[in-house]
Amino acid sequence: MAALAYNLGKREINHYFSVRSAKVLALVAVLLLAVCHLASRRYRGSDSCEYLLSSGRFLGEKVWQPHSCMMHKYKISEAKNCLVDKHIAFIGDSRIRQLFYSFVKIINPQFKEEGNKVKSDFLWHPEVNGSMKQCIKVWTEDSVAKPHVIVAGAATWSIKIHNGSNEALSQYKMNITSIAPLLEKLAKTSDVYWVLQDPVYEDLLSENRKMITNEKIDAYNEAAVSILNSSTRNSKSNVKVFSVSKLIAQETIMESLDGLHLPESSRETSAMILMNVYCNKILKPVDGSCCQPRPPLTLIQKLAACFFTLSIIGYLIFYIIHRNAHRKNKPCTDLESGEEKKNIINPSVSPLEVFLQSFCKLGLIMAYFYMCDRANLFMKENKFYTHSTFFIPIIYILVLGVFYNENTKETKVLNREQTDEWKGWMQLVILIYHISGASTFLPVYMHIRVLVAAYLFQTGYGHFSYFWVKGDFGIHRVCQVLFRLNFLVVVLCIVMDRPYQFYYFVPLVTVWFMVIYVTLALWPQIIQKKANGNCLWHFGLLLKLAFLLLCICFLAYSQGAFEKIFSLWPLSKCFELKGNVYEWWFRWRLDRYVVFHGMLFAFIYLALQKRQILSEGKGEPLFSSKISNFLLFISVVSFLTYSIWASSCKNKAECNELHPSVSVVQILAFILIRNIPGYARSVYSSFFAWFGKISLELFICQYHIWLAADTRGILVLIPGNPMLNIIVSTFIFVCVAHEISQITNDLAQIIIPKDNSSLLKRLACIAAFFCGLLVLSSIQDKSRH
C-alpha cells in the first residue's frame, strides 16, 4: 500500500509540476526579482558604500555582515599595498584615538598602545571647537599637503565638561556648523568621514562620567547628521557619516571595561570597515564587493554580448517564419467529405534553428549570470559557518534521497543508475559544504576531499571501462567528451572574464581524460577483446599502467618539471592563475593517484566479471556468504577508520600530504558496502540520480548564481529572509543547471557530427575560434597592464 501511495503521489506531482513548468516559474521569479532590485536601487540608491557605513548585523558573535555587500578581511601586505604613499589623519577624542590604534594594527600588528604617545597622523582634539576648526582649516589651504583620508569625531568631552547642559549642545551645533563647510571643501579632494558617537553602558560609567547618557549622545549625533547633510544646498554632501560603529557598539558595549570605550574586537571591526571603504575601490578584492564599482566590459565580453544578441534576433526571425508556415499548413476541412486534409508539414527542425535556439537560451542565462556576479544588481553576503548550517541540510537531503528510491534496470557493480546516484549525493553535499563555509572545519574539509577524489575515481573507472571494452579510440568520442566537459566553462570564461583554471575541476577531469586516452590509445593498443585471445596482453596493459604511475610520481615530486610543462604557451593561457601555475600543480597533486586507482579497479573488476567470479544477479550477494561478510566487515572498519583519522586531523597541510595515498581506502570501502549485498545493488535513489545527471553543471553554475563573488560569498535575491532566499536561489540555480545540460547535449550533436569529414571542418573552425580568442586575450592583457 505504501509503495502504491508513493507511486500515485509521484505521478500526481509529475502531472501538475514538470521540469518545463519549473523552468517557466524560475524565469518569472528572475524577472520579478530583477525588477524589484532595480526599483529598490532607484529608490534607496545603489551606493554600497552607504550600506557599509550605515547598516549591517553580526553573524554569530564577532563576524560583521554589512547590508547587501561583502566585506574583505585585509591582510598586512594588502593594507600596505593600498596605503603606500598615503596619509591617513585621525582627529578627535579618546574613542577616535582607539579607532586609530586599531586601524594602524591592520598595517602593523606589532603596534602597541603605550601611555599617551601621539603619532603625527593622530591629532588630539576632544571637542568640536575653535582648536579643531583651525586644524582642519590649515588643510584647506592650497599650499598645504592634504591627507588622503580624514577621520574625525567628538562629543563625549563636551557632554562631560559642561555636565550635559543644553547650552553645550547649542554651542556644539554652532561649532560643527562652522566646521562643516571646511570638511566639505576637503571632501572634494580627500575622503572625509565623520564618526558618530557610540552609545555607552551607563551602569559601568564612573561618577565623573555619569552625565554622558545615551539620550545626550543621540541628541549630539542628530545635530551632527542634520548639519553635515545640509552643508551643501543643491547636492549631496561629500562628507561621509560613519554611523555603523553605533550598531556595532549596541551589540558589544556590555563587554566594555569602563562603559565608554568599546572592546578591542569592536574597534577592529570598525577599522576594517574603514579599510574596506577606502581600499576596495583600489585593490578590488573578489570578496570585497562593498564600495566596488561594476567592472568595465572587456572587448571579448562585448563581442560575446553581440553574438548572443544576434542569436536571439536570428532565432526570433526563424520562429516567426516557422509560425507563419505552420499556420499555412494547418489542416483544412473538405466540404464534401467533412474530413480534414493534411498539408505537408516539415517533419524536423533544422540544425541552424536548434543552434540559434540553444544560443538564444544560453544568452539569456548568461545575462542572469552576469547580473548575479558582475553587474551588482543583486546583493551578496559573506559566508558564516556553524555546525547546524552544514549538518541539518545534509540530514534533510538524506531523508529525501532515501524516500525516492526505485529498482535498478541492471544489477551490475557501479551500474549507470548507481553512479548517477553517487555523483548526485556527492554533488549535493559539496554544494552544502560550499554555501555553509564548512571549509573552516577541518574534519568536514577532509571528507569533502574524499568526495572530490571519488568523482575523479569515477572518471578513471568510467573512461577506462569504455576504452577497454569498446575499443573506440575514434576522434568523435574524444571530441564529444571534451565538448561536454568544457563547453560551459569556456562560455563562462568569456562572459565572466575569468581564466580557465579558475574553474579548476573541469581542467582536472579534462587532463585526466586525455591521460587515460593517450595511455590506452598509444601503441600497442590493448583492449579486452585482444587480451581475451592472449593473456600476455594483460601484462602489457599492466606495464602501461605501471609506466603511467611512474610518470605521476615523477611530476608529483618534481614541481619544477611540472611547472615548466604547463608554463609553455599556449598551455600557460589555460593553466595559469594569478600569473603562475602553482594552483594547478596543487590541485593536480592533491588527487594525483585516485584516477590511476579508478583505472586499476576497472581492470580488476572487468577481469573478475569476465571469468564469472562475481555473482551479479538480482538480490544475490557479490561473493559467497563467507567472503561477502568478511569483505563487508573489512569495508565498514576501513570506512570508519578513515573517518576517525580525518576527524582527528589537526593540520590541513599534513593531512593534505597523506590524502592522495589514503583517500582510496574510503572510496573502495564505500563501493564494496554499496555493492556486495544484492538488495543494496538492486535499488537506487532516483532523487540523487536526477542531480547526478547534471552534477557537472551544478558544480560550475554554483560559482556565480548560487554562491557569489566567485564562490567567496552567498547570492542574496531576497534580503532579510535567509531561509526563503536559499529556497528561491536554489530553485532557480537547479533549473538553470538542468537547462544548460540540455543545451550542451543539443549543441554537442550539431557541433560534433559523426561524419569524420564534417567533424574535421568543425574542428578547424573551433581551432580558428580559439586562436582568435588567444589574440583578443593578449590584446586585453596588454591594455590592462
Residues classed as catalytic = 94, 258, 261
Side chain identity at 474, as an amino acid letter? G
Cis peptide preceding 570, ω within 30 of 0? yes
Of the candidates 244, 221, 229, the one whose C-alpha atom is nearest the C-alpha of residue 69 is 244
Find where cell 584516477 sits. 595
Q: Which long-range contacts (CB under 8 A, 24 or more apart) does 79-82 make?
A: 79/106, 79/107, 79/275, 79/279, 80/107, 81/283, 82/275, 82/278, 82/279, 82/282, 82/283
Residue 102 CA neighbour count, 13 Å, CB half: 21
What is the Cα Rg of the chain in Å?
Answer: 32
Run of H or E residues at 560? helix 559-566
Contact assessment for residue 714 and residue 435, using Cβ atoms and an 8 Å cutoff? yes
How far apart are the C-alpha atoms of 284 and 276, rounded to whole Å?
10
| The three three-digit cell numbers of residue 254, written as one number | 556590555
Contact assessment for residue 377 and residue 66, using Cβ atoms and an 8 Å cutoff? no
Q: What is the DSSP letter of 187?
A: T
Q: At what angle do helices 299-328 and 351-373 cross, to 10 degrees?
A: 140
Distances (CA, A) of 205 to 209, 247, 258: 6, 20, 6
In the three-class reduction of DSSP (H, G, I as helix; E, B as strand; rest coil), residue 290 is classed as: coil
Q: What is the DSSP letter of 569?
A: T
Find where cell 585621525 sits. 90
Cis peptide preceding 524, ω within 30 of 0? yes
Contact assessment for residue 421 and residue 414, using Cβ atoms and an 8 Å cutoff? no
| The three three-digit cell numbers of residue 33, written as one number | 526579482
Residues 6+ apart with CB under 8 A from 135: 91, 123, 125
Find where cell 554562491 sits. 707
Q: What is the DSSP letter of 348?
A: S
The Cβ of residue 148 has, within 10 Å, a number of other Cβ atoms equal to 15
Distances (CA, A) of 190 to 51, 235, 328, 408, 694: 20, 18, 70, 69, 51
Beta strands 240-242 and 191-195 are parallel
How far apart are the C-alpha atoms of 248 and 772, rounded to whole Å?
52
Q: At what angle do helices 94-107 and 264-283 cross, to 10 degrees?
A: 60
Give the E-state strand segments of 624-740 in sequence order. 683-685, 707-708, 713-716
Contact assessment for residue 704 and residue 369, using Cβ atoms and an 8 Å cutoff? yes
Burial readout 464-486 (b: 16 or more C-beta within 10 A, e: otherwise)? bbbbbeeeeeeeebbbbbebbbb
Contact assessment for residue 260 and residue 273, using Cβ atoms and an 8 Å cutoff? no
